[in-house]
Every structure is written in C-alpha cells, then in structure tokens.
Amino acid sequence: MGKVRVRRQRGNRYNPTRVRNNNGDNNNGGGDDNIAITTTTTTTPGLNIVHEKLESVITEECLCGLNTLASLCLDNGEVIITQSPSLVDKVTHMLTHDNPEVRCAAAGTLRNLSVCGTDPVVSALTEPAVFTRVCVFLRTYHGGDWCPALTDLGQHTPTHLDPVTNALIHTTHVILNLCEYSDEAITQFNQENLLDILLQHLHPTFGVCVSAAECLLCVSENNPAAASVLLTHAQDALVARTRVSHSSSPQDLRFATTLVGVLMNINYSDNTTTSCQHILQTLATTLHPDPVLALQTLLRLAEKSEGVGNDGTMEVLAEKSDVGSSGVGNDGNTMEVLAKKSNGVGSSDNTKTNDDSTMEVLAEKSSDGVVGNDGNTMEVLAEKSGDDGGGVGNNDTSTAHTGVVTLQDLDHLITAQQLALELLSNICCPDDDDEEEEEEWDDDDGNESVMEEETTTTNIQRDNNTTLPPEIVEGLRFHSLFNTALSRTNALTHTLTQQATQHLKGADALLAKYSLVCVRALVCVQNLASVLDIEDMGGVDNVYTIWMNLASHTFNTNNTESVELLEAATGAMRGIMDTLSQYVKTTTTTTPPNITITQQDLQVILESGVSCVSCVVRGNLAHMVGTLGCLATHHDTHTHTHILNTITHFLFKVGANDPELWVSAEAIDSIIDIYSNDNTDNIANHNHLIQHLKDINTHFQAKVKQNKKVLGEHTALVLTVKDNITQFIKYKSKRLKKYYKK
C-alpha cells in the first residue's frame, strides 16, 4: 500500500530568469504584475549579471553574485543549468577562494542547486571535474590540522557564525544530495575515498557531526564497499557514539539515532543478540521524551518573554535541512528549504504494506525568505541575544523530562523521533530474501480453487505471519515499544497548534514535522502489531479498545483533511484488526471481543471509505470493516446483526462501484471472508447475498479481463478474488437453497 507524495504546488512568484515555467504559464509574477515573459534559449540578463559578479575581483561582488544565484537555484536550478552550464564550473572554482565567506557562499550555492535533484542538475554536478573539485575542497578538512573555530572562552563558535565550518556542512550536504539521487555519485564517492573524512567529523562536540552522520547514513545504504569498511574498521567507534541515556540532549539523541541507522545499513544488528538489544535500547531512549510536553514548555517560555522575535529569544534561524538544501543569503545567514530524504535505511516507507519511498524536495517562500519544512529532516535553530539563554526554563520541571529548552532542541528531538520510528518499522519488516516471483496466471478456470465448508481465501496475504529473531521480539517487549509508538500517534490539539503559530516563529515548519512523527508512529504501530503477541499489546479487549480509539481520533476530527495521515491511520487500524482476527481464529478458547462500535460511528467510517480520494484509504477500510464483520459473526445479537448488515451493504457498494479494481477486489474478498462461515446463512439470505455477488461478478470479471496486464502489485489479490468469487457463489448458492424452497 504505497504512498506517493506529490510536489507541493507553489503560488505564482516573480521569475528572475524570465523563462516559461514547467506548467506553461508565461506570467510568473505576483499579483497584478503583468510583465510579458518570453521564452528564450539564450542566457537571460539576470544570469548575465550573475556571471559578471562571479568574475569580479571584488569580494563583495562575488558574494552578491553567489547569494543571488543561491536564491535562484531553489526554484530554477534546472533552468540555470540548461541556460548557463558554465556557472557550475565557476562556482566550484570559488571553493578555493582566499576569503572564507566566499567559499561558504559557493558551497551553499552548490547545496541549493543539488537539492533540485533533476537529471540535468545531478548530471552537471557529478561531472568528474566538478565532483573532483568538491572532493578536493572536502579534503581540506581532513587530518589533524583543522578543527572548528573557538571563541575567546574556548567554546566552539556557533556554526552559523563560523563560515569555515558552515562551508564544510554545505559541502557535506552536496555529497549527501548527489548520493541520494545518483548511483554515479556513490561510485565517485567510493573512488574518492571520502569515507574517512566523514568518520573524522563524527566527534559529538563538532557542529558538523550531525551532517556528517546523515551523509554517512545515506552513502552506507546499498553500498557494499562502504559497508565493508565501516563494519571492519569503524564499527566499534560507531557503537560507542550511539550510547545515550534519558539525560542525553536532543541533539545527542538525533546524532545517536542517525548512527543507529548506519549500523543497520551495514547489518550490525544481524551479528549478535547484544547488538540487537543495543539498537533497540537507543531507539527506545530516543522515543521516550514527549515532544508535546516539550512544545508546551516552549510555549510557556515564549508567553513569559517580552518582545518575542525582537531579541531573538524564540527566533527560528534556518541553518540547514538534513538533505542539504541550504544556501547563503545576502546577509550571510543560511536559508532553509523544505527537503525530504529516505534516510538511507532501506525503504523509507517503513512498512511492508507500503511501496518504495519517493524522495522529493520542496521549496517554498515565506514572508521572511526561503523557509523549509522538511518531511524528514530540517534543522531549526534558536538564536539568543546576550548570553546563550542556557538558564531559561531551568526552573520548569517539565524540561527535565524532555531536555528541550530551545526551538533547536525541539527540532532535534522531533527529527530524531522521526528517524527512530522509521528504523523501528524497518526492524519489524526484514527484507525477504525469497521475494515472490512474478507468477504466470493461467486464464483457464480449470485450476480455480474449490470452496469447502470452512474455506477462506488464504491465498491472499492476510495473516500476520512475520517472524523475527526471538532476541528482537524480546527487546520489543522489554522496552514496551508498541505502547511507546502508540503514544507518538497523538496529534496536537487545535488550541496547542494555534498557540504555537501565534508565539513561535517558524511554528508551521515545526508542526509539519511533528505531523510526520504521527504518520510514522502509525506505520510503526501497524508493523509492531504484525510481530508481537496480542498479550504484548494488552490482550484482546485492550487491542479492540486501541482500534476504537484510533477510529474515533481519525474519523471524528479534522485529521480527515490529511490524506497521508488517513493512509497511515487506516493502515494501523487494518493491522490491529488483522492481529485481533487472527488471534480469535487460532485460539478456540478465546472469547471474541465485544463489538461496541455504535451505528453512528460506523457510518462515519464507512462514509469516509466511499468519499476519500485515496485508494489506499478506501482499500484499507474495505479490508478492515470486512474483518470487523468477521468478528461480528461470532456474536448472535440484534446489535451485531445490524452492524453486519450495514457492513455488508457498504461492501456491496464498494465492490460494485469503486473506480480502482483492486479496491473492489478487497471488498469482494471481505464479503467472502464474512459469509464463508456457515452460521451466516440466514443473514446472507436476508441481504440477498447471491444476487448481489452475481451482479458484482459480471462487472468485476469484465474489468479484470480489460485491466489484467496493468494490475501491477495487486495482481495476486485481484486474480485470486476473480477465481474465488465464482466458486464461492456456487458454494453458497447450494447452502441457501433451503431458503428458496420456503
């Protein structure tokens, strides 16, 4: 059940390059500005000015040109590369400029350009001459001669005030971005032997350590050469730096969690029981602090402070996004962009029910400049005037539980928990070495399965039969990771969201990141439910209560506005309901949970299943309410019969009318599951089951024949249902003949 993220539509903006944008609009200006823009294949006047400034011997002119180009790259990177390919060459040569501010600006410009990720841009930046210059510049930070600048008090200078360190961060992210997008960049990374440089900068006291760790996370994914070196020569050092405690700072948690991802990439967790327990311990520690509590703490601090934003107390500065999308503005500060990456741990989608992850980079403009709002990682820094504000909030006991006293801390915590939930999901979904081969399905009905009296469609992947090594399962239980992940699914209240928007600058970016934490937590809950015993989740009744709470939270609030959240929530509900149903099926002595859902609540869920634009949500609901119907058949009361009738008519509607063939197949399969139980004959007759299925089958068979070659990942489901429905109609018709005679 893959989720595909589409690029966010931006509003009309002034187009400095004066070329036609991708959607063909000529006027890319704002408001009433009706300047005619003509398409040209020659270098535009704006880029000519940039060329002139880059060729100037005056440092200020060079900085101005680089800052202008950095801004243009955010929206027009591909256009710039197409019109002025020589600009890349000029910018990379400036990495050797005598002035550190110019080097930093050049690195920031390359970073903004690399985040574009389109083929022309990646191709230009991975040209051997260009990539080699970037690597040569990176090597200037290798060895014992360089360390971050220190203040007069012997403390490390803040990163955004140290152009030398900032240039290193930018360059690290250039490498990261290119390796995310290009196998050729990975090859060149290995050839240039850049691994040692990244390892050198993993020292926790260095401002570049998080950037280096995230680059290492990227380049270690599906890279046997790097994995071999890390496993052989750096494993012990990496493990040592992943040891954290509940008193660790949010940045330390983020750093350690990123290195846990690196260890998982190099299969460290496959070695011993101790390694598995160590990884789970680190993830549990990272997920322990409550970001909602931390946000409430910051809001109290913000409300108490006077002149919020004027003195920088709650000012959010954009130093970098973790994908490496920052450039340098005219004032020398870094600009942040919305960037998302897969974090380099297998599929960033985290779940076996979700397809390949999609990487996208979004950039959008705010009133203050380019603001980022990262789907995975975006660093938000809080700058304080005067002293560093370390004592602020120390009297508030709630900070002792989260370690958060600044916006920077909260951003580190949220980012760390995003990655921790992803890694935990991946642990629950080990790669299958024996992936299913593409099956040749015979169009002949001679091999159709014959329905027997207790038959269900077991050919479809229903059961939660994922098996994990016992030491991992024990670790999941010991650290109560199911309950921990479940606690991270709680969305912010409307009141808290309004307060954050009012009092915290940059709150929109932070709230979007927290929303992604909820999404990943829901995916994690789904995966954990597939590998844990039902007792580990509190027993049958508690699991059903969890399902009810998720349903109420998802469909009775404004969460229905977020398709991504709906997909994750319905996926978690589906997984929990499958676990519950499977336990009831396999444990004959277990009393099925009492189905306490009200008709009104059920109707809200079903209406969402029909109206939602996401086929993933509709498919999850068709499967989920079918499982709920199966549980309802274990109770012989008027209430449960009414629930079953409502579910049946909903599935009839979806099976007959859903535009997606595989969603119809889910609904039909759910009907077969419900009514394969012989004690449902009376209800089947009451609902005219056979006639409805015959009508559905006529259209379904025709649609299968028409779309058989384009079913993709849903081929097994659709073709299995195609066979089963015909046989089920024959089987159930025989059983219902007794009602026809009457």
- What pLDDT, on the 0 to 100 scale, is given for residue 130? 93
- Domain residue extents for the chain: 42-149+156-207
Given this model, what pLDDT does residue 102 score? 94
Instruction: Supply the CATH classification number for the domain 42-149+156-207.
Output: 1.25.10.10
- Helix or strand (DSSP H, E) at 542: helix 540-555
Q: Please report the pLDDT score of residue 309 as a whole number.
A: 44
Residue 686's pLDDT band (cuts 50, 70, 90): very high
Distances (CA, A) of 706 to 171, 709, 718: 52, 8, 12
- Are 414 and 511 a contacting pair, CB within 8 Å? no
- 263 vs 151, residue with greater confidence: 263
Residue count of the chain, please give it.
742
**What is d(CA 668, CA 655) in angstroms, rounded to the nearest whole number?**
6
CA–CA dist 657, 109 (Å, integer): 51
Report CA dihedral (586, 592, 596, 599) to the nearest 10 degrees.
60
For residue 72, pLDDT beyond 60: yes
Please measure the distance between the N-terminal and C-terminal CA atoms of the chain and give it in whole angstroms. Answer: 45
Closest by CA to 168, choosing from 134, 126, 145, is 134
* Per-residue tokens: 281: 């311990």
Task: Assign 169 a pLDDT band (cuts: 50, 70, 90).
Answer: very high
Q: How confident is the model at residue 118 (pLDDT cuts 50, 70, 90)?
A: confident
More confident call, 254 vs 607: 254
Side-chain half-sphere exposure of 461, counting CA atoms within 13 A: 13
pLDDT of residue 570: 93
What pLDDT is recorded for position 560? 61
Q: Tens digit of pLDDT for each residue in 559-574? A: 666 889 999 999 999 9
427: left (phi over 0), alpha (psi -120 to 50) or beta: alpha
493 vs 118: CA distance, rounded Å: 38
User: How far is the CA of 460 from the CAs of 456, 548, 669, 700, 716, in angstroms?
Assistant: 10, 26, 9, 17, 7
What pLDDT does residue 557 have? 63
- Say which amino acid occupies 129: A
pLDDT at 150: 67
- Is the pLDDT score of 206 beyond 90? no
**pLDDT tens string 19-48:** 434 444 434 333 333 333 333 344 556 788
* Separation of alpha carbons 164 and 141, rounded Å: 9
Mind spelling out the 3-state secondary structure of 365-385?
Answer: EECCEEECCCCCCEEEEEECC
pLDDT of amino acid 431? 59
Query: What is the rounded average pLDDT of the residues 428-437?
Result: 56
In whole angstroms, give the CA distance from residue 211 to residue 173: 7
Using alpha carbons, list the distances in angstroms from residue 671 to 110, 455, 573, 690, 734: 56, 13, 19, 11, 17
Share of the chain above pLDDT 90, in %: 42
Q: What per-residue confidence (pLDDT) applies to 297?
A: 87
Token code pair at residue 346: 């297998």
Q: What is the pLDDT of residues 212-249, one digit of tens each?
A: 999 999 999 999 999 999 988 888 889 999 999 988 99
CA neighbor of 670 nearest in space, from 623, 603, 634: 623
395 phi/psi in degrees, rounded to 5:
-80, -5
Task: Report CA Rg, the chain.
Answer: 28
pLDDT at 184: 92
Chain mean pLDDT for the chain: 77
Separation of alpha carbons 641 and 543, rounded Å:
22
> Quick one: pLDDT at residue 526?
94
3-state SS assignment for residue 321: strand
> Any idea which of 124-133, 383-392, 674-683 has the lowest mean pLDDT?
383-392
Residue 721: pLDDT band with limits 50, 70, 90: very high
Name the range with the highest mean pLDDT among 89-93, 362-366, 737-741: 89-93
Q: Residue 434 and residue 715: Cα distance in Å, rounded? A: 18
Dist CA 675 CA 691 (whole Å):
14
Q: Give dist(CA 361, CA 372) in Å, integer.
A: 10
The alpha carbon of residue 680 and the mean position of all alpha carbons in its chain are separated, in whole angstroms, by 42
Give the span between the Cα atoms of 675 and 732, in whole angstroms: 8
C-beta of residue 257 within 8 angstroms of C-beta of residue 216: no
The confidence score (pLDDT) of residue 314 equals: 45
Mean pLDDT of 74-96: 86
Q: Quick check: 415 and 254 in contact, CB under 8 A?
A: yes
Output 233 or 282, whichever has higher pLDDT: 282
Residue-wise pLDDT for 535-547, tens only, equals 899 888 899 999 9
pLDDT over 90 at 107, yes or no: yes
Q: How many Cβ atoms sit within 10 Å of the Cβ of residue 603?
A: 12
The answer, yes or no, to whether residue 718 has pLDDT greater than 60, is yes
164-184: average pLDDT: 92
Q: Pull the structure tokens for residue 198.
A: 């990244």
Alpha carbon 32 to chain centroid, angstroms = 38
Q: Note the pLDDT of residue 365.
A: 31
The model's pLDDT over 450-480, given as tens digits with 9 standing for 90+, comes to 344 344 444 444 444 557 888 899 999 999 9
- Categorize the per-residue pLDDT at 5 as very low, low, confident or very high, splitting at 50, 70 and 90: very low
The per-residue pLDDT for range 545-599, each reduced to its tens digit, is: 999 999 988 887 656 668 899 999 999 999 999 998 888 888 766 677 778 888 8
d(CA 664, CA 651) in angstroms, rounded, equals 8
Which range, 501-515, 584-598, 655-669, is most confident? 655-669
Q: Give per-residue burial for 154-171: e unless 16+ CB within 10 Å, then b.
A: eeeebbbebbbbbbbbbb
* pLDDT of res. 504: 86
pLDDT of 294 above 80: yes
Q: Is the pLDDT score of 438 beyond 50?
A: no
Confidence of residue 383 (pLDDT cuts 50, 70, 90): very low
Beta bridge partners of 381: 317
Which residues, in sequence order, are bridge partners of residue 321? 378
